[in-house]
Structure 1
């Protein structure tokens, strides 16, 4: 992936000794999972889909949903992985650089997030207008809820409003709201993460408790924002994580230990699904298990950083490519899947996916090159401009001079692919 002043991966390796490139791969795999998640949502029988999809025990849908195979379609859980990754990579430059330039950060971050979002909304409008979206599925299904039969320009404006609008024409924008809120509140997250540096276990426990409360009470703020805090805690403890990993890797039991952490984290990530369809009758247990999802995501991040075979896998070219297009893929895929479903109306539901999934990947590649890469340059320019204005007002000529140095330390790596999510989702 190329970026202003060199590749993001090169910047990352300069700052971290190559240890964070694996997180690009992890983000890429999470984006692919979100794509598959929404692809199966077009089938109203998919368990977990809006409208109450049901799958008889032993059916293909049952195997996909209530066994470890769920990992391939765990879209909501993958968004939490996005959030933890964002919390880590966006917080890291703040705590590692004395005199962090906040005046540059806010406009740079806003441009970095909003330019791709606004472009994705315009692209989504094209897909919506390309074919009438009058769902033949019952009301309440994901396809019916996500279709826009009465499209008008107001939907574009509402989708651009991440804080209070409506992402009707581009469903994944719901998660960008939390990304933006976290970005605006980054000073608070960074201070809280530093405050629990020595009591990090308590910090993680508090985050899980808040996530549980949010899942049980239906509060989005409590359910999703703690995941960013978990990432921020990893950021302030990153050196300790590396030191522990290095010691573990000198022992014979390193592979069983890391494999146990990875497998355990993956299973914890989808734990509510492994309980089976009856989890719907146990809301307290469901909320408890959802409260553990940020911890599971943190386990995957630590394993990606510390386990050499896993890190090597995540740094392979195909996986890194998925990381390169992950943010763009997240932003563009849903309108394409919906368009494909209507284009192949009357055909078996999977026919649309055979067409739509490759198209989404191709469009994501183009979007990365045409929009996302350029948004980095525009974001940098906005930050430099803000720093120059700040130095003029307050006599701080050194502020603008720090911008190229901060870019070399890899700060833009944290802004390169914000999720999905970020899954986000």
Structure 2
């Protein structure tokens, strides 16, 4: 869910639009929290919209955007892993701190909150330290359920601890770096199948070593982008075919059986999503699919994907807990209205100011190395 500001123009809008489609699918996947027996979720083909698995697109887009930024900083001689970590902590912290404050207020003043104080504090501590996925695995019955979706941010941040160091060391060896990322992706996929068989779906769905394949695929796109531009003229065709494949996979999701997002369905969906993201960033024409993804409302939703993601589960869980007598449709309308209102406020007063601050402040950007020739150095030593 990183902001795609690496380029200007319709191509960035289309990538934002893809993120918009993704967050809509994620929210649909969690809509059972507020409407447990939605009739649409039982309709063949349509039921695939509610079965999850779309989060891999966020991983791929995020891995691409972050890796491309790190590679650009390295080329300028401005890559500082410590400042990168600081930017990431601030970027997500400004969303997570208000959330955990809200959770603390709910726990203190809401008599229907089922969690113990010790469990709430432990859950919050692990969310803020991005170890939540491992805590949830070890404390499945006591970890707060309204924070469960934040496993995604923990996996992301854990990979981002290693990524800037990898770019620093291997960024100049693109082919070797790409090969390493590809091997890592395959290894994570194989490990997910192994853990699923040995330890069950819950562990397989939360471990960094089973879910980080999308991040590595995104990094692979960024690393190989200079080699991929020769295929730019085929980008519209590739985008159309990959989008068609993703739609077909979603519609056929239920036919692949339970937990298919962790199995072969998930592998095929990740491959199709990787092709789609590559087509959006490699250059060349975007075609009809690109124009659809670039529509204003989809890009607006994509730009708000982080607050939408962070807040939707706690809002749904809290409202559902307080409205057992309401009709599911009324509960859904109220839940979505509250989510939209909170997102607008978070976007205006938290998200956008933070983006500008991190972009404009020199405190969070390393200065490029001095490129001015000096005694004993030739101008080619840049």
TM-score normalized with structure 2 length = 0.76
Aligned to 2:333: 354
Aligned partners of 1:170, 1:286: CA distance in 2, in Å? 21
3-state secondary structure, aligned to 1:170:
helix
Aligned to 2:293: 314
Q: Which moved more, 1:101-110 or 1:183-192?
A: 183-192
3-state secondary structure, aligned to 1:19:
helix
State the shift of 1:308 in Å. 2.4
3-state secondary structure, aligned to 1:100:
coil
Aligned to 2:148: 171
3-state secondary structure, aligned to 2:345:
helix
Q: Alignment length, in residue pairs?
A: 343
3-state secondary structure, aligned to 1:13:
coil
Aligned to 1:137: none
State the shift of 1:370 in Å. 1.6
Aligned to 1:62: 42
State the shift of 1:188 in Å. 4.8
Is this contact kept in 2: 1:33–1:74, CA < 8 A?
A: no
Does 1:228 pair with 2:204?
no
Cα separation, partners in 2 of 1:258 and 1:242, compared to 1, 3 Å? same
State the shift of 1:330 in Å. 0.6
Aligned partners of 2:129, 2:63: CA distance in 1, in Å? 22
- Partner residue of 1:160 out of 128, 142, 148: 128
Aligned to 1:13: 7
Residue-by-residue CA offset, 1:256-306 (whole Å, 9 max, x unaligned)? x64322111343467653324xx46xx9x9633333443232123134445
Cα separation, partners in 2 of 1:269 and 1:95, compared to 1, 3 Å? farther
The unaligned stretches of length 5 or more in structure 2 are 137-142, 196-202, 372-382
State the shift of 1:194 in Å. 6.9
Aligned partners of 2:251, 2:222: CA distance in 1, in Å? 24
Aligned partners of 1:35, 1:291: CA distance in 2, in Å? 21
Aligned partners of 1:36, 1:327: CA distance in 2, in Å? 16
State the shift of 1:225 in Å. 1.5
Aligned partners of 1:335, 1:171: CA distance in 2, in Å? 9
Cα separation, partners in 2 of 1:263 and 1:243, compared to 1, 3 Å? same
Does 1:374 pair with 2:326?
no
3-state secondary structure, aligned to 1:340:
helix
State the shift of 1:211 in Å. 1.8
Is this contact kept in 2: 1:178–1:224, CA < 8 A?
A: yes
Aligned partners of 1:38, 1:269: CA distance in 2, in Å? 15
Aligned partners of 1:339, 1:114: CA distance in 2, in Å? 22
Aligned to 1:116: 95
Is this contact kept in 1: 2:315–2:335, CA < 8 A?
A: yes
Structural mapping, 1:294-333, within 5 Å: 294-305=270-281, 307-333=286-312
State the shift of 1:44 in Å. 4.7
Aligned to 1:259: 240
3-state secondary structure, aligned to 1:346:
coil
3-state secondary structure, aligned to 1:342:
helix
Aligned to 1:288: 264
Aligned partners of 2:239, 2:231: CA distance in 1, in Å? 12
Aligned to 1:81: 57
Cα separation, partners in 2 of 1:162 and 1:19, compared to 1, 3 Å? same
State the shift of 1:45 in Å. 5.1
Does 1:214 pair with 2:208?
no
Aligned partners of 1:239, 1:269: CA distance in 2, in Å? 31
- Partner residue of 1:23 out of 15, 29, 32: 15
TM-score normalized with structure 1 length = 0.69
Cα separation, partners in 2 of 1:123 and 1:287, compared to 1, 3 Å? same
Does 1:245 pair with 2:205?
no
Cα separation, partners in 2 of 1:207 and 1:159, compared to 1, 3 Å? closer
Aligned partners of 1:364, 1:215: CA distance in 2, in Å? 36
Aligned to 2:374: none
Aligned partners of 2:35, 2:150: CA distance in 1, in Å? 21
State the shift of 1:213 in Å. 2.1
Is this contact kept in 1: 2:184–2:216, CA < 8 A?
A: no
State the shift of 1:360 in Å. 0.3
Aligned partners of 2:86, 2:115: CA distance in 1, in Å? 36
Is this contact kept in 2: 1:108–1:382, CA < 8 A?
A: no
